[in-house]
Amino acid sequence: MIVSFLNHQFPISIDAVQFVNAFSQTPAFVQIGFFFLAWGLIWLPIAIPISIAVKWKPFNPLELHQKLPLVVSLYAIAPLILWGIARLKQVPFSTFGIHLHPHLFASAAIGFVIGTVGILILFGIETILGWIHWKSENWRKWLSASLPTLLLGIWIGFTEELVFRGFFFGQFGADFWTSAIVSSVVFALLHLIWEGKENIAQLPGLTLMGVVLCLAFIQNQSSIGLAWGLHAGWVWMIASLDAAEILQYEENAPEWFTGIDRKPLAGLLGLLFLLGTGLAIVLFI
């Protein structure tokens, strides 16, 4: 009926209608590949002049002033492309884990609290063990960094959860572990674009982080709310503390345990933290 109507109103668009029908029937990996291809191709003409302006080359570590305009431009177009994918699949946008209901924001708030408290517990353990100390003179610096990093964390968390859990992971659905591992490995590898080889040590941690967020997505009835809050809380707390330079690692702090290059996801304690978070989600959420 819909096809007949479209043919009557727009007779030259028959190929487009056939494409829409065919796309909605393609395997999940084809639809996912189409999304990432479209995302990259649309972003490329925007990214090239920005990269030239900020003097950045792909796969090289980014300074903050280089990263922000690139991330803003990339993440701003992702929801628009997913909206187009939803139209092609002939499904509502809410299929990707966004239900505009108080439950979404309540779950995000719960996840945010769990995420921020979890990071504080992680650094608290390292403090008790004598591996880090807190620079009390930098608290004002932390307060000034808190709002911009909070907004950044909420936005990054929302976009990445929409793309990687709501869309990517959600396309497979039936086989949890295959879907979670594949989507999480891709999630981890794509971080190399921003950090280059400096990020290799974090790949296992980022992959495990992705799996934990997939668990949060499933436990939250296929809504991105809980995962979004967790992600935003982690990003905010780590980014704000880093920006304020409030943590000082002691020389005796073992990198293999606290994190290579002082990155929590590149150490054993960070991996244990993620496992504990995943276990808590399964048992108590």
Number of Cβ within a 10 Å radius of residue 55:
9
pLDDT of residue 208: 97
Would you list the domain boundaries of the chain? 1-91, 99-285
Burial class (CB in 10 A: 0-12, 13-18, 19+), 247: middle
**DSSP conformation letters of 66-125:** HHHHHHHHHHHHHHHHHHHHHHHHT--GGGGS---SHHHHHHHHHHHHHHHHHHHHHHHH
Q: Taking the mean position of all CA atoms in its chain, how far away is CA 255?
A: 25
Residue 205 in this model has a pLDDT that exceeds 80 = yes
**6: its two tokens:** 């479209």
Least confident range from 2-11, 117-126, 127-136: namely 2-11
Band of the pLDDT at 155, cuts 50, 70, 90? very high
Alpha-carbon radius of gyration of the chain: 21
Q: What would the mean pLDDT of 20-38 be, rounded to a whole number?
A: 86
Q: How far apart are CA 16 and CA 38, in angstroms?
A: 17
47 compared with 2, residue with greater pLDDT = 47
pLDDT of residue 213: 98
**DSSP conformation letters of 197-249:** GGGGGGHHHHHHHHHHHHHHHHHTTS-SHHHHHHHHHHHHHHHHHHHHT-EEE
pLDDT digits (tens, 9 = 90+) for 247-262: 999 999 999 999 999 9
pLDDT digits (tens, 9 = 90+) for 268-284: 999 999 999 999 999 98
Residue 2 in this model has a pLDDT that exceeds 50 = no
Band of the pLDDT at 152, cuts 50, 70, 90? very high
Residues 241, 122: contact at Cβ < 8 Å? no
Band of the pLDDT at 3, cuts 50, 70, 90? very low
* Enclosing H/E stretch for 133: strand 132-134
Q: What would the mean pLDDT of 23-30 be, rounded to a whole number?
A: 83
Q: Is 0.85 topped by the overall pTM?
A: yes
